[in-house]
Amino acid sequence: MAQYEPVIGLEVHVELKTNTKIFCNSSTAFGADPNHHTCPVCLGLPGVLPVTNKKVVEFAIKAGLALNCQIAPFSKFDRKNYYYPDLPKNYQVSQFDLPIAEHGFLEIEVDGNTKRVGITRVHMEEDAGKLVHQGTISDSSFSLVDYNRTGVPLIEIVSEPDMRSPEEASAYLEKLKAIIQYTGISDCKMQEGSLRCDANVSVRPLGQEEFGTRAELKNMNSFKALQKALVYEIKRQIKINEEGGRVIQETRSWDEAKGVSLSLRSKEEAHDYRYFPEPDLVPMVISKDWVDEIRTTLPELPDERQARFVEQYGLPAYDAIVLTSLKEMADYYEQCVEQFNNPKAVSNWIMGDFSRLMNADNMEINDVRIQPAQLAKMLQLLEKGTISGKIAKTIFEDMFATGRDPDIIVQEKGLVQISDEGAIESIVTDVLANNPKSVEDYRAGKNQALGFLVGQVMKATKGKANPGMVNKLLKEKL
Amino acid sequence: MKITEQAVEQLALLSRLDLTAEDQTAHTKSINVILDYLDLLNKLDTSNVEPAAHVLPLKNVFREDRLQPSLAKELALANAPEEEAGAFKVPRIF
């Protein structure tokens, strides 16, 4: 049986964080009542004249620069014609042959190897409206249309078909999301649709140069969905090949609940968008000065920051990758390290309990009530031995839930670590007296018995005894 | 003939035009006349002419990212064929 290799390219749509839409002054705010953010321009009423939002062009150039693209000196908008009720004009204003940016790349890390994935192009376009189907999509007889999202600025980022596994595709999307978030041009919230991903997938016998026929996968609303949809699609295509069939070029929609992809429509004949230059919008001439000016607004990007974290803080590469994957997390980390200069300890807490609690509550960094200074303060208490590692976890959970200062929690709950040798010694004596069997075992050479005895002392002190001291005293007495 | 009746039929489908058989024949003829004329234009030497992206000699017409009040919802929906729950109600598209 032939071995097959998947070939994957991604098309990612990112909603830009501007105040107003791409061609009119209507609001882009998310979550308003239906049709509250529209105007004659975005509703496509006759006789209106769209005018490009300068910020959209700036943001698109910024994205292009962050993705190592060449910025077009001359760019224009085109009409992409198709009929669908989410598009009031019956065309979408997009870019066809002269996109704002081309020929870029980004780098991903998979299994410890760095791989470069090409960016074919970045272009600007307007978003479409939202259709709400009554009942299920298959049995409702009409749709309700909300045009709030119509005209919200998007950039579409098209990759080269450079990815060879679902893991690489996932890593690409993660990196792309991180880069875009760092530039501040989008929130990149997949659940709110401000980051959307379609995938072009084909398979070919290993060693074959020529690509197989591809299917376009849509409707993957999370990283997990992307991964699952790709695995499913690759299997489906390999099966068709092995059974001697032919993969047809089509668009397929991922059904997350059922875990299958379904054919939407055959792309072979239906899709002819008949692009032509948008006559209502004049071309854009992008000067080198303008590009240079935008370049100066680029922040330190994830790759640079990651390298700096390894260099400056001596962190393992893994920690640096995780911490810098989100700008807010990296900012948080650095603010904390500034006040508690033990970079690895801070990293362990942020990647450990901090992330665990945050993910359990589906929170984002900005929602977390613990301030970096408070985490630093808690780590100082831990370092000074005022609290034990075990107590620190309890305090941390309290801080996470309430946002209170660690020292207040320590005082209030009486959690100060017992480091008074006399106090611990008397408890140690009691524990030894009450557990003669373990004492005997330890003396007979069973080292595990010591762990049990330490546990008993900790239990008696409600976890407050200084563990180092407990160990030392127990060993002495034994 | 540069364009066939079948191509015109496909074009009509894409443009949501309901053409009769006579329409189709007539349009095929007139589109071919236009295409023939384009052939004539194509004979001109344009090797020293910049491709035009627009008929006007304008570039970089932008506006600032400044919010203005939206259209009142009632006005936005005034042309809706039907309305429900503040939304345009349209036949379901398959």
Span A111-168, pLDDT tens digits: 888 999 999 999 999 999 998 876 655 566 788 999 999 999 999 999 999 999 999 9
Return the pLDDT at A42. 95
Q: Domain of B28?
A: 5-42
Return the pLDDT at A267. 42
CA distance B75 to chain A (A): 9
- Rounded to whole angstroms, the Cα distance separating A194 from A14 reads 6
Query: CB B53 to CB A277 under 8 A?
Result: yes
Residue recorded with tokens 């999307």? A173
- Rounded to whole angstroms, the Cα distance separating A393 from A387 reads 10
Q: What's the distance, Cα to Cα, between the start and end of chain A in Å?
A: 66
Residues 6+ apart with CB under 8 A from A271: none
B-chain residues near A25 (CB < 8 A): 63, 66-68
Query: CB B73 to CB A279 under 8 A?
Result: no
Query: CB A27 to CB B60 under 8 A?
Result: no
Domain A421-477 has CATH 1.10.4030.10: no
Residues 6+ apart with CB under 8 A from A243: none
In chain A, the residue whose alpha carbon lies closest to the alpha carbon of B73 is: A36
Q: What would the pLDDT profile of A32-71 be if each residue is shown by its tens digit?
A: 999 999 999 999 999 999 999 999 999 999 999 999 999 9
A-chain residues near B56 (CB < 8 A): 282
Residues 6+ apart with CB under 8 A from A317: A306, A310
Contact (CB, 8 A) for A59 and A185: yes
pLDDT band for A385, please (50, 70, 90 cuts): confident
pLDDT band for A1, please (50, 70, 90 cuts): low
Mean pLDDT in residue range A224-237: 95
Best B9, B10, B63 member to test A by mutation, with max A CBs in 10 Å, is B63
- Rounded to whole angstroms, the Cα distance separating B67 from A24 reads 9
In a domain, B86, yes or no: no
pTM (two decimals): 0.84
Residue recorded with tokens 């034990």? A388
Query: CB A74 to CB B53 under 8 A?
Result: yes
Mean pLDDT in residue range A323-349: 92
Q: ipTM for the complex? A: 0.89
C-alpha distances in Å from residue A338, one per residue of A335, A377, A379: 5, 11, 12
C-alpha distances in Å from residue A291, one per residue of A53, A65, A176, A301, A418: 17, 9, 21, 17, 62
The DSSP code sequence of A352-385 is: IIIHHHHHHTT--GGG--S-HHHHHHHHHHHHHT
B31 touches chain A (CB under 8 A): no
Query: Quick one: how far is CA A248 from the chain centroid?
Result: 32
Rounded to 5 degrees, φ, ψ at B44 are -65, 145
- Decide: helix, strand or coil at residue A104: strand
Residues 6+ apart with CB under 8 A from A454: A467, A470, A471, A474
Residues 6+ apart with CB under 8 A from A231: A166
B-chain residues near A74 (CB < 8 A): 53
Return the pLDDT at A361. 85
Query: CB A76 to CB B54 under 8 A?
Result: yes
In a domain, B82, yes or no: no
Return the pLDDT at A80. 94
Query: CB A37 to CB B84 under 8 A?
Result: no
- Rounded to whole angstroms, the Cα distance separating A286 from A448 reads 72
Query: CB B87 to CB A26 under 8 A?
Result: no
Q: Of A37, A52, A274, which is closest to B14 when you measure between CB atoms?
A: A274
Q: How many residue pairs bridge chain A and chain B with CB atoms within 8 Å of each other?
A: 121
Beta-bridged to residue A8, according to DSSP, are: A163, A201
In chain B, the residue whose alpha carbon lies closest to the alpha carbon of A85 is: B90
B-chain residues near A83 (CB < 8 A): 16
Could you state, in order of their start, the residue ranges of all structural domains in chain A?
A: 4-294, 302-413, 421-477
Structure tokens given for A461: 């002190």
Return the pLDDT at A165. 95
Q: Which of A195-199, A320-324, A450-454, B75-79 has the lowest mean pLDDT?
A: A450-454
In which order are the strands placed within the sheet that holds A113-126? Answer: A70-71, A101-110, A113-126, A153-159, A4-15, A195-205, A215-220, A250-255, A260-266
Radius of gyration of chain B from Cα atoms?
Answer: 22
Radius of gyration of chain A from Cα atoms?
Answer: 29
Best A282, A285, A286, A287 member to test B by mutation, with max B CBs in 10 Å, is A282
Residues 6+ apart with CB under 8 A from A446: none
pLDDT greater than 60 at residue A269: no
The DSSP code sequence of A120-139 is: EEEEEEEPP-EEEESS-TTT
Higher pLDDT, A156 or A454: A156
In a domain, B9, yes or no: yes
pLDDT greater than 70 at residue B34: yes
Q: What would the pLDDT profile of B4-33 be if each residue is shown by its tens digit?
A: 998 899 888 888 889 999 999 999 999 999
Mean pLDDT in residue range A90-116: 94
B72 touches chain A (CB under 8 A): no
Q: Of B16, B59, B63, which is closest to A53 when you measure between CB atoms?
A: B63
Return the pLDDT at A281. 96
pLDDT greater than 90 at residue A435: no
In a domain, B48, yes or no: no
Residue recorded with tokens 């066939």? B4
Query: Exposed, middle or buried, A96 (CB in 10 Å: 0-12/13-18/19+)?
Result: middle
Sign of CA dihedral A46, A55, A105, A235: negative
Return the pLDDT at A270. 54
B-chain residues near A283 (CB < 8 A): 53-54, 59
Mean pLDDT in residue range A193-198: 92
Query: CB A142 to CB B90 under 8 A?
Result: yes
- The overall average pLDDT reported for chain A is 90
pLDDT band for B1, please (50, 70, 90 cuts): low
Return the pLDDT at A136. 59
Mean pLDDT in residue range A442-452: 84
Return the pLDDT at A240. 93
Query: CB A144 to CB B68 under 8 A?
Result: no
Query: Considering chain A, what percentage of its residues have pLDDT values greater than 90?
Result: 57
- Rounded to whole angstroms, the Cα distance separating B53 from A235 reads 45
Q: Which of A131-135, B52-56, B71-75 has the lowest mean pLDDT?
A: A131-135
* Residue B2, amino acid: K
What's the total number of domains in chain B?
Answer: 1
In a domain, B33, yes or no: yes
C-alpha distances in Å from residue A185, one per residue of A35, A57, A292, A384: 25, 11, 17, 43
Contact (CB, 8 A) for A14 and A212: no
Contact (CB, 8 A) for A117 and B64: no
B-chain residues near A282 (CB < 8 A): 54, 56, 58-61
Query: CB A19 to CB B66 under 8 A?
Result: yes
CB A246: neighbour CB atoms within 10 A?
Answer: 8
Query: CB A272 to CB B14 under 8 A?
Result: yes
Rounded to 5 degrees, φ, ψ at B49 are -110, 130
B13 touches chain A (CB under 8 A): no
Mean pLDDT in residue range A296-308: 95
B-chain residues near A57 (CB < 8 A): 62
pLDDT greater than 50 at residue A268: no
In a domain, B10, yes or no: yes
Query: CB A147 to CB B88 under 8 A?
Result: yes
